[in-house]
């Protein structure tokens, strides 16, 4: 088994960079946002943001061929919510967040237009807005651009479900008005051969509260960015993630919390399980606390449970701090196997090894699943986690 | 009817310097309705005996036998031993994050009985067990042993003893770290269990204090991986007065 737990802090390197540049206007961890493809050249694999990704398995997405293939959309839109198609120019006008890597830049360039989901100000949408996206074949190259706009003081939950297969590159902006409360869940339940490169960027309004959860079970390569920045002070963001990598899967989740406003909060928890030969997960947690961002609080945590030999879990928290005036900043990262003492304790009460593993795994994800805050999803997630476990660990009875 | 028979049990653990022998031939039989106390200084191998009977993977059995009603315990997996009727109240109960006490107890009961307990009576039984051990009703919703105080952990072990109702209970220093009130509550739980017909108890302790509340039929003095002396309850009184020094010295004398 190779478990690298490449936890490191780049506070010092961040500060050195700071000195060199005189001031640090952009994070050295994340390239600056830009629509210009020249700013996002095809990666070699040595770049900081690409070093973990198996470029050869991206099936040529980064070549940037034009394509008008789409996923099929099946939506549940509660009253008061609208879905429209807008031009790329309009998407920029209403303040979508510019791409910050090549796949999102290509998606913004080649999508042919953006879908806009609009929740008007002060609307309280209790029922989740559900968007089911289905791909027919990995031969289809799909570029997608999506804007979720939630007006001031509105409340909404948006669930995106990805199934089937495609070569899919999507750029999504979540624009959250002042005082709004938004919960976004992106569920990746792809077939085995799908390739999904996604970037969700969130702009948090004054005193707004946002929760974003990435849940990834399926796909050959899934590489998702969840970025958050703040339009004004007082906003808070909770970034959650749950992933389960099987044999041969590469599941990569990259976070970037950009504390560009004072009195803002970010709280990150990602948990993953890995099983099977060459199951590979990557978690990158970048947090930047800018000079202006006084009185902020941030905490990020990634935990991985390695269920079999032959898996690799990379976990890299990065904290760049430019101000000393912060309320709190911390991170934790741990990769562990099933705990023998826990299994012994359960088995000493008559519980079979299978059942004991199931209990421990369920327990591992339990707090996270509860925090997702979409009751209709909770049970389904628990079931899916247990089905995943059954696919490998439980079938090898000793 | 239940008889736990331990014969010439030898156990070692693997260390960086190779295997280290801890139990050096332990022989002990616990019959129906008998309570045996094992007393010994720290490090004498008491927990090793308990864990070895329960089947903890850390311990290598290098010799001897353990049978429960004639069945070979050492050939059974950990969970098979529990289903055969053995129960170990652990000295250091293990935290299981994210697994609620309620879920844990129901899963264990289902495993031991081979069928899910009837919901109505089960909820009543759990509440009664919790109440008798002075555990708050919200206790069931907490995660197993997570953030429990020392006393709560031990009381939770005894709640399990009562709910799972094994044939033979091994209690490993259930008394340590308990104040006098908690000690009484725990002892009452053990006494309720052993008042039933045909139950056996192996009570491991460092101190004589608990023996005032749970009176043993036999007392074994455990030193350096072996039983150094045995007798009736009066042996505990002698130990109370004199401590283990006599045995430790005797043990240190070159053969
Ligand atoms: N993994 C281990 N490696 C080395 N020595 C061990 C290990 N586990 C237990 N021991 C030793 O075995 C002896 C008996 O331990 P234990 O059974 O816990 O004693 P008791 O419960 O009587 O205090 C002690 O000397 C202890 O240090
Ligand atoms: Mg001990």
According to CATH, the topology of domain B4-93+167-252 is Rossmann fold (3.40.50)
DSSP helix/strand/coil, A264: coil
pLDDT band at A28 (very low <50, low <70, confident <90, very high): low
Reply yes or no on whether the pLDDT at A144 is more than 60. yes
Question: Which residue spans within chain A are E strands per DSSP?
Answer: 72-76, 82-86, 114-119, 129-150, 155-176, 181-188, 195-204, 209-216, 221-230, 236-245, 250-259, 265-274, 280-289, 297-306, 312-321, 328-337
Closest residue of chain B to A350, computed from CA coordinates:
B79
Instruction: Answer whether B108 touches A (CB < 8 Å).
Output: yes
Q: What is the mean pLDDT of residues B172-191?
A: 96
Q: What is the ipTM of this complex?
A: 0.97
pLDDT band at A8 (very low <50, low <70, confident <90, very high): very low
Residue A393: its pLDDT value, please?
A: 56
Q: What is the mean pLDDT of residues B180-187?
A: 96
Reply yes or no on whether the pLDDT at A1 is more than 90. no
The residue behind tokens 């990834």 is A216
Interface residue of A348, A368, A385, A397 to substitute, partner B, most B CBs within 10 Å: A348
Express each pLDDT in B240-250 by its tens digit: 888 888 888 77
**Alpha-carbon distance B222 to nearest alpha carbon in chain A (angstroms):** 24
Sign of the torsion angle spanned by Cα atoms A85, A86, A88, A92: negative
Q: Domain boundaries in chain B?
A: 4-93+167-252
Minimal-distance CA residue to ligand 1 atom 8:
B13
Residue A398: its pLDDT value, please?
A: 38
Residue B37 parent element (H or E): strand B35-39
Report how far residue B81's alpha carbon sits from residue B52's, in angstroms, rounded to the nearest whole number. 11
Q: What are the tokens at A293? A: 């961002």
Q: What is the mean pLDDT of residues A155-176?
A: 98
Whether B15 is in the pocket of ligand 1, judged by its Cβ within 6 Å, is yes
Of the listed ranges A125-129, A378-382, B180-184, the one predicted with least confidence: A378-382
Report how far residue A160's alpha carbon sits from residue A168's, in angstroms, rounded to the nearest whole number. 14
Interface residue of A350, A353, A381 to substitute, partner B, most B CBs within 10 Å: A350
Q: What are the tokens at B135? A: 């555990």
Give the helix ranges, DSSP H, for B43-100: 46-54, 78-84
Buried b / exposed e over A313-336, threshold 16 CB at 10 Å, is bbbbbbbbbbeeebeebebebebe
User: Which pairing describes strands B226-231 and B218-223: parallel, antiparallel, or unpaired?
Assistant: antiparallel
For Cα atoms A391, A253, A130, give the angle at the middle one, nearest 5 degrees.
75
A149 touches A175 (CB < 8 A)? yes
Q: Domain boundaries in chain A?
A: 5-338, 339-398
Closest CA to B22 of B31, B7, B12: B12
How far out from the chain centre does Cα A240 lie?
A: 8
DSSP state of B92: S
Q: What is the pTM of this model?
A: 0.86
Give chain A's mean pLDDT: 91
Report how far residue B97's alpha carbon sits from residue A267's, in angstroms, rounded to the nearest whole number. 20
**Subunit contact B83:A350, Cβ cutoff 8 A:** yes
Whether B12 is in the pocket of ligand 1, judged by its Cβ within 6 Å, is no
Reply yes or no on whether the pLDDT at A5 is more than 60. no
CB neighbour class for B124 (10 Å; exposed up to 12, middle 13-18, buried from 19)? exposed
Cα(B20) to ligand 1 centroid in Å equals 9
């Amino acid at each position: 088994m190779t478990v690298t737990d490449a936890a490191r802090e780049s506070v010092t390197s961040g500060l050195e960079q700071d000195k060199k540049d005189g001031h640090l206007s952009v994070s050295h961890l994340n390239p600056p946002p830009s629509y210009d493809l020249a700013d996002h050249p095809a990666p070699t694999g040595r770049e900081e943001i690409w070093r973990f990704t198996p470029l050869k398995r991206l099936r040529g997405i980064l070549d940037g061929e034009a394509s008008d293939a789409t996923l099929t959309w099946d939506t549940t839109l509660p009253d008061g919510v609208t879905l429209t198609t807008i031009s790329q120019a309009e998407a920029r006008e209403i303040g979508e967040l510019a791409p910050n890597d090549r796949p999102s830049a290509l998606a913004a360039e080649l999508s042919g237009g953006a879908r806009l989901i609009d929740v008007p100000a002060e609307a309280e949408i209790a029922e989740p807005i559900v968007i089911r996206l289905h791909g027919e074949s990995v031969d289809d190259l799909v570029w997608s651009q999506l804007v979720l706009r939630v007006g001031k003081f509105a409340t909404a939950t948006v669930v995106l479900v990805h199934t089937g297969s495609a070569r899919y590159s999507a750029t999504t902006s979540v624009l959250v008005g002042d005082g709004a409360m938004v919960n976004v869940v992106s569920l990746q339940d792809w077939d085995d051969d799908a390739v999904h490169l996604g970037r969700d960027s969130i702009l948090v309004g004054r005193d707004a509260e946002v929760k974003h959860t990435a849940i990834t079970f399926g796909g050959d390569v899934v590489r998702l960015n969840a970025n958050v920045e703040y339009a004004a002070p007082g906003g808070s963001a909770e970034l959650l993630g749950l992933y389960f990598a099987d044999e041969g899967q590469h599941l990569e989740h990259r976070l970037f919390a950009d504390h560009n406003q004072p009195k803002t909060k970010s709280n990150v928890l990602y948990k993953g399980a890995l099983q099977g030969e060459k199951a590979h997960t990557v978690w990158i947690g970048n947090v930047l606390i800018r000079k202006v961002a006084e009185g902020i609080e941030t905490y990020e945590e990634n935990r991985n449970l390695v269920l079999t030999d032959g898996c690799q879990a990379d976990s890299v928290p990065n904290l760049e701090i430019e101000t000393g005036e912060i309320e709190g900043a911390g991170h934790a990262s741990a990769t562990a196997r099933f705990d023998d003492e826990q299994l012994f304790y359960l088995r000493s009460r008559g519980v079979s090894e299978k059942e004991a593993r199931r209990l421990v795994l369920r327990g591992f994800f339990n707090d996270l699943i509860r925090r997702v805050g979409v009751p209709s999803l909770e049970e389904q997630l628990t079931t899916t986690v247990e089905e995943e476990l059954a696919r490998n660990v439980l079938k090898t009875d000793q | 009817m239940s008889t736990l028979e331990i014969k010439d049990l030898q156990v070692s653990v693997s260390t960086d310097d190779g295997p280290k022998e801890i139990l050096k031939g332990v022989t002990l039989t616990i019959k129906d309705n008998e309570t045996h106390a094992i007393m010994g200084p720290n490090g004498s191998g008491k927990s090793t005996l308990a864990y070895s009977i329960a089947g903890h993977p850390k311990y290598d059995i290098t010799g001897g036998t353990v049978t429960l009603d004639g069945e070979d315990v050492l050939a059974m997996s950990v969970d098979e031993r529990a289903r055969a009727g053995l129960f170990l109240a652990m000295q250091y109960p293990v935290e299981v994050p994210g697994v609620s006490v309620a879920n844990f107890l129901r899963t264990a009961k289902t495993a031991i009985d081979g069928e899910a307990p009837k919901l109505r009576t089960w909820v009543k039984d759990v509440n009664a067990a919790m109440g008798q051990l002075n555990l708050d009703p919200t206790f069931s919703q907490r995660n197993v042993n997570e953030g429990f105080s020392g006393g709560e952990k031990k009381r939770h072990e005894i709640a399990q003893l009562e709910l799972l109702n094994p044939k033979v209970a091994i209690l490993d220093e259930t008394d340590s770290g308990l104040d006098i009130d908690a000690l009484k509550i725990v002892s009452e739980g053990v006494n309720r269990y052993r008042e039933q017909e045909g139950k056996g108890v192996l009570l491991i302790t460092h101190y004589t204090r608990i023996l005032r509340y749970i009176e043993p039929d036999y007392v074994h003095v455990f030193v350096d991986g072996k039983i150094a002396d045995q007798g009736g309850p009066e042996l505990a009184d002698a130990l109370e007065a004199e401590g283990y020094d006599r045995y430790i010295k005797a043990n240190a004398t070159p053969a």
